[in-house]
Amino acid sequence: MEVKEVDGNEWKYHGEGNRSMVVSHVQHCQVLRFLKFPIEHAQPSQALEEAPRRLKNIVDFSKHVMKLLLGDNFVQPGEVIQLPLDFVTQLALKIQPERSGSRCNKVMDAFSGYALCLPDLTKFQTCHQIEKRPPLCIEIKPKCGFIPFSSHITKDIKRHVCRYCMHQHLKVANGKWKRISKYCPLDLFSGNKQRMYIALKSLLQEPQNNLKIFKNGELIFGCKDDQDCLMDLNELANHLKAYFFPANGVVSGPQCTRTVISELIHVITIALVSNVDTCKTGDMKRTLVSQERSHCEASHFRKEALRNGIHVVENSGLPKGCVLSRILQVQMLDMMDIDGIYPLYLRVQQHIEDFPTDRSRLHLDGPYNESFYESLSDCHSQDDETVDYAAQKIHQYRVATTAKDCSIMIALSPCPVEERPEPSTIIQTSRACFVYSVSVLDLDPKPYENIAHQYKLDGKIINFYVQSMRGKK
């Protein structure tokens, strides 16, 4: 991929996460994804030394690991490119005012000149020339969709309440978000239309950083942080009614909002459960997750169902091959849970203290090539006390962690029903028709060293949750 324009005026702030800054081209369908560094460590020399290797690892991990696990259709690894330093410096200055205060403890890498170039997934190329309405894109960061099943777990609460629901309490107490979200990932990953409906509705009520909606590449719904949110459902419905009421664009009021929002949820649900390989959404093999692993006791689903007069039908499981099922399967490579992984991490740490050169033999920091991918398959079923067993389990855990943190992008391009495109590539509702595509992004490898941090954080989340629940009794 070639970057067509290296003029700062042609690029604008698009979004950022914890580890990268994304700018998009005002016209072309491209984004640049820069690394971020903590302000206190942002040394040009360090950036130059680290950035090319870290970016190469990101692309390799996407290409040789996540793409194989998630499926060809969903993953666009992009490529590492080198940009003129004056362009990057100008860009860093230009985007600064757009950034939220809570993100400013890190700075964009404006020092190395390296970045990733990716297709702009929020601007699905519309091939329908007569179509005036711009594309829509829904980004969902679903988080972990199952209850851990490892025998290494010591705290019983982890078998009942999912990680996301527990973490909410700590996040609100820390001031990261103002209110607790009612979203529970287990409902989204259930494959049950009613549970998915409640999950998506909860995301729309409290999007935090788990839901964003773009129109023509511009954010129209979602949060930068708790101070800076676009989350008015009436406004969203105003944006969307031209898509869902093509014949009657003037409707308004609460009834209109409700109808538009439930049409939107319907379309998102279809995209999430459709199998892009066979392009079918009908009855097909479902991935079944056992009852205990697919229900979270903190979920608001039953309460909401009662309140909305929904009769709960318990058919569950995701159609095989749909994006949610693919992601869930990779997440489930975490078989031991952090409770089982942490002792293995200590084993590896001890070993590399004694044999430092083994760090690279064990692929702890990549390279993420074919042999890393092969090392994921389960040849050690029993713990034989070796460091190789420990390293393999850690690799599986890290791959699963990436899948717990990725985002799904659903791009929708409206198409006039008269055009009758191939039925396999469209989502049709009673009033609308969209050509759609589904991708998965943010597939970076999580640093090996993060395991120690994850272990501590896990303890904190659980203790805080147990304490808050005690306070409520």
Residue ranges in contact with Zn ion by CB under 5 A: 162, 165, 184, 296, 298-299
Q: Is 122 in the site for ligand ATP (CB under 6 A)?
A: yes
Q: What tokens were used for 210?
A: 């788990």
Contact 199, 189 (CB under 8 A): no
Q: Which does 223 bind (CB under 5 to 8 A by kind): ligand ATP, Zn ion, Mg ion, none?
A: none
* Nearer CB in complex with ligand ATP: 126/259: 126
C-alpha distances (whole Å) from 7 to each of 10, 92, 359, 440 are 6, 13, 42, 29
Q: Is 125 in the site for ligand ATP (CB under 6 A)?
A: no
Applying the rule CB under 6 A, the residues between 16 and 35 that interact with ligand ATP are 16-20, 22, 31, 33
Part of the chain binding ligand ATP (CB under 6 A), chosen from 114-122, 148-156, 179-187, 320-328: 114-122
Q: Is 444 in the site for ligand ATP (CB under 6 A)?
A: yes
Q: Is 447 in the site for Mg ion (CB under 5 A)?
A: no
Q: What tokens were used for 113?
A: 């000149």
Among 109, 187, 442, 458, binds ligand ATP (CB under 6 A): 442
Between CA 294 and CA 414 the distance in angstroms is 34
| Residue 145 CB, nearest approach to Zn ion (Å) | 9
Q: Is 109 in the site for ligand ATP (CB under 6 A)?
A: no
Q: Could you say which DSSP state residue 361 is in?
A: H
| Residue 123 CB, nearest approach to ligand ATP (Å) | 8
* Nearer CB in complex with Mg ion: 294/401: 401
* Nearer CB in complex with ligand ATP: 16/334: 16
Neighbours of 322 (CB within 10 A): 25
Q: Could you say which DSSP state residue 277 is in?
A: T
Q: Is 17 in the site for Mg ion (CB under 5 A)?
A: yes
* Nearer CB in complex with Zn ion: 165/223: 165
| Residue 142 CB, nearest approach to ligand ATP (Å) | 12
Q: What tokens were used for 371?
A: 């042999």
Cis ω before 416 (30° cut-off from 0) = no
Part of the chain binding ligand ATP (CB under 6 A), chosen from 247-255, 415-423, 430-438, 440-448: 440-448
Tokens 């985002």 locate to 407
Neighbours of 327 (CB within 10 A): 24
Contact 397, 334 (CB under 8 A): yes
DSSP assignment string, 56-92? HHHHHHIIIIIHHHH-GGGB---EEEE--HHHHHHHH
| Residue 30 CB, nearest approach to ligand ATP (Å) | 9
Tokens 């527990």 locate to 166
Instruction: Enumerate binding residues for ligand ATP (CB under 6 A).
Output: 14-20, 22, 31, 33, 118-122, 139, 212, 405, 407, 441-442, 444
